[in-house]
Amino acid sequence: MSKPTYVQDYQAISEMLNKYTEGCKQAKSSIMKSAFNAQATMYSVGPDGKLTGGAIPILFEGVDKDFRPSPDAEAAITRIEIVGTAASARIDANGMSGISFTDFFHLLKVDGKWTVVSKIFHTHAAP
């Protein structure tokens, strides 16, 4: 029988995701980079209805170039599901650089450490 690790895994995943939201709030990709695997990807559907995205540096470049600090932005981890070495999570955010969005993350526990391997998102229409 293996040792239960759900609580520790949940906390580790929460820490990874909090790095992401803090990087968005401060408009600094350097804060979030350690949460992502170097081979991670990010995709969404653009305003034209077409698939857009690719390798994770797209996220980092966008945060550094297009985001502005948003200390009052709100974000909540609304779901984390863990099965062994695989997990998925959802973050809902309001007011990140004037944008509201929902992110879905897939994570894997590689060499004992959780890492984001993919992110997809939906940007909500401005109110």
Alpha carbon distance 13, 107 (integer Å): 8
pLDDT tens-digit map of 12-29 = 999 999 999 999 999 999
DSSP H stretches of helix in 2-108: 6-26, 29-32, 57-66
pLDDT band, residue 125 (cuts 50/70/90):
confident
The mean predicted confidence, pLDDT, of the chain is 95
Which pLDDT belongs to residue 5? 81
32 torsion bin: left (phi>0), alpha (psi -120 to 50), beta (else): alpha
pLDDT band, residue 52 (cuts 50/70/90):
very high
Confidence check: pLDDT of 74 > 60: yes
Which pLDDT belongs to residue 127? 63
Which pLDDT belongs to residue 2? 61
Report percent pLDDT > 70 for the chain.
96
| DSSP character at residue 49 | S
pLDDT tens-digit map of 112-123 = 999 999 999 999
Give the pLDDT mean for 72-81.
97
